Amino acid sequence: MSSTKISSLSAKAIVSGLASRSFALDDVIATFVERTKKVCPALNSHVFFSEEVISKQVDALKKTSNPESYPLFGVPVLVKDNICTMDMPTTCGSKILAGYVPQYDATVISRLRNAGAVIFGKTNQDEFAMGSSNENSAYGPVKNPWDLERVPGGSSGGSAAAVAAELVPVALGSDTGGSIRQPASFCGVVGLKPTYGAVSRYGLVAYGSSLDCIGPITRSVEDAAMVFDVISGHDPKDATSLHSGSREIPNSEAMVSKKRIGVISELIGTGNDLDTTHSFKEAVLELKALGAVVEEVSLPEIEYSIAMYYLIATAEASSNLARFDGIRFGHRSSDPTQSLKELYLNSRSEGFGKEVKQRIMLGTFALSSGYYDAYYGKALNAREQLKSAVKRLFSQYDFLISPTSPTTAFKIGEKIADPLSMYLSDIGTIAANLAGIPAISIPCGMSESRLPIGLQIMAPWNQETSLLQLAGIYEKKLKWSERYKPNV
């Protein structure tokens, strides 16, 4: 099989091909190594890539006695730079963690390795996962493989761009307010945000601890289900992790018949561009053709979701990022005459980027004496109201849908000076994080300027099986990835 064909294979096809000896493990690894060296510089998708580290993993895999028992045997997987890897740096796209190599693997990394996956490097991201465009990285912006002048989305932009460009079939991202789903939409791939707690957060560098989720970015729903099955499940190292079983996904169109799907009216009106609106309407027609009952529903609480998110997430970030002080690891200011207070101040001022500083200051203010109840406390109360409203909707509907993002990928630099406009690009995705429910973005259309458009499907708490099943049936019906490929 040619290297071009291998690079376009799904994770499932790679596992099957290796098991049937259609090609060898060395062929798979060499193909993706060469493609990475060829394409990565144009995308700026990686912050760490080492053939030596990859070779060590492959050598260990070759010694396994029964490769067929490994569900991801030989599958190259990229990992977002905020997930700890003991043989690669983890810098969160920030100067303050430059050169930091953890002494342990995150639980998701251990589970991937135990399943036979090859960790292929670390991907570029918005600094500490704070951003919607991947322009806030200390390593520079990632480019969208569909148009190198446009952003890939954020904060998991490097992961989404790499999967879309066929540098790997699978990457991990993290999602605090849409950071898996929005870049998946912009890059024309599948992005799954699991139920909060379904995947262990142990080894994920925290941004907003009550919101953060790790999930897969792939080119097919089937691959997303495979990876989710490997990385999900209870972890005693994470007190918030859930007990859950296998998520094997049956694929029957009969499953869709009579299912009730709610279209969130607040997310389909003004603010969406014409191409997004058109593609979303086409997706609704496809779901109706499959036998689903699709109706508009109202979720007025979503109007306040941006405000809730940027109070809760920044307050938690203010606390979580206090540990980066230039003492134990990461960047330390080099002035030998400074006091301890000056060391903290200078190290953090030099190490953190502008967006991170803004969010730390906003969160610190929201938690400060005299303002806690007025801001952070009120946001927590509003979050509970949103969760209750979502729960009521799911008592009547099996799924909720919306466009993943109100627009297609915007140009690099277009919104960097307008934070509010940037924040509003996550208006469709934040509610799922606040409510703790699973959500997925899958491609549903293409704009006139040949940019991908994503459909978001949300399901009740801990219902990834039915979510993936519906997404897989829709994907099979649309055959989007067979019709469109990026130019890189």
Q: Which residues pair with 190 in a beta bridge?
A: 218
Tell me how many degrees the CA angle 371-377-380 measures, rounded to the nearest 5: 145
Q: Domain range spanning residue 207?
A: 3-255+461-483
Structure confidence at residue 248 (pLDDT) = 58
Q: Is residue 196 part of a domain?
A: yes
Degrees to nearest 5, angle at CA 101 with 97 and 105: 120
From 175, 239, 242, 173, select the one nearest 212 (Cα to Cα): 175
Q: Residue 255: is its pLDDT beyond 90?
A: no
pLDDT digit string, tens, across residues 165-219: 999 999 999 999 999 999 999 999 999 999 999 999 999 999 999 999 999 999 9
Mean pLDDT value of segment 71-92: 98
Strands 293-297, 260-264: pairing is parallel
Overall domain count for the chain? 1
* 245 pLDDT higher than 70: no
Give mean pLDDT, residues 375-386. 97
pLDDT digits (tens, 9 = 90+) for 363-379: 999 999 889 999 999 99
Please state, in angstroms and rounded to a whole number, the distance separating the CA atoms of residues 164 and 488: 9
In this prediction, residue 431 carries a pLDDT of 98
- Is residue 411 in some structural domain? no
Q: pLDDT class for 265, splitting at 50, 70, 90?
A: very high
Alpha helices for 398-479 (secondary structure H): 419-423, 430-435, 464-478
Q: Are the C-beta atoms of 154 and 185 separated by less than 8 Å?
A: no
What is the per-residue burial (b if ≥16 Cβ within 10 Å, else e) of 237-251? Answer: ebeebbebeebebee
Mean pLDDT of the chain: 95
Residue 252 has pLDDT above 80, yes or no: no
Write the CATH number for 203: 3.90.1300.10
pLDDT value, residue 243: 83
Residue 356 lies in a domain: no
DSSP reduced 3-state for 171:
strand
Residue 117 in domain: yes
pLDDT of 186: 98
Confidence of residue 253 (pLDDT cuts 50, 70, 90): confident
* Tokens of residue 262, six digits: 């709610």
Q: What is the mean pLDDT of residues 230-242?
A: 96
Residue 310 is inside which H or E element, if any? helix 305-320
Q: What is the pTM assigned to this prediction?
A: 0.97
DSSP 8-state assignment for residue 375: I
Cis check: omega of the bond before 155, within 30 degrees of 0: yes
What is the tens place of the pLDDT at every residue in 145-159? 999 999 999 999 999
Residue 281: inside a domain: no
Could you give the angle at the alpha carbon of 154 between the alpha carbons of 476 and 317, nearest 5°?
Answer: 125
Res. 3 pLDDT band, cuts 50 70 90:
low
- Whether 92 is in a domain gets the answer yes
Residue 407 in domain: no
251, pLDDT greater than 80:
no
pLDDT given at position 46: 98
So what's the pLDDT on residue 430? 98
- Residue 203 sits at φ, ψ, to 5 deg, of 95, 0
pLDDT at 249 over 80: no
The residues that are catalytic are 80, 155, 179
Residue 112 reports pLDDT greater than 80: yes
Is the CB of residue 479 less than 8 Å from the CB of residue 443? no
Compute, in degrees rounded to 10, the torsion defined by CA atoms 186, 191, 196, 202: -100
- pLDDT tens-digit map of 8-66: 999 999 999 999 999 999 999 999 999 999 999 999 999 999 999 999 999 999 998 88
CA distance 342 to 345: 5
Query: Comparing 247 with 120, which gets the higher pLDDT?
Result: 120
Question: In what helix (H) or strand (E) does residue 315 lie, and over which residues does it extend?
Answer: helix 305-320
* Total length of the chain: 488
- pLDDT at position 201, please? 98
Asked if residue 147 lies in contact with residue 452, where contact means CB atoms within 8 angstroms, the answer is no
CA separation for the pair 127, 125 (Å, rounded): 6
Q: What is the pLDDT of residue 487?
A: 86
Q: State the Cα–Cα distance between residues 58 and 118, nearest whole angstrom.
A: 7
Q: What is the pLDDT of residue 65?
A: 84
The answer as to whether 266 is a domain residue is no
Distance of CA 89 to the CA centre of its chain: 19
Q: Among 56, 123, 60, which Cα is nearest to 89's? A: 123
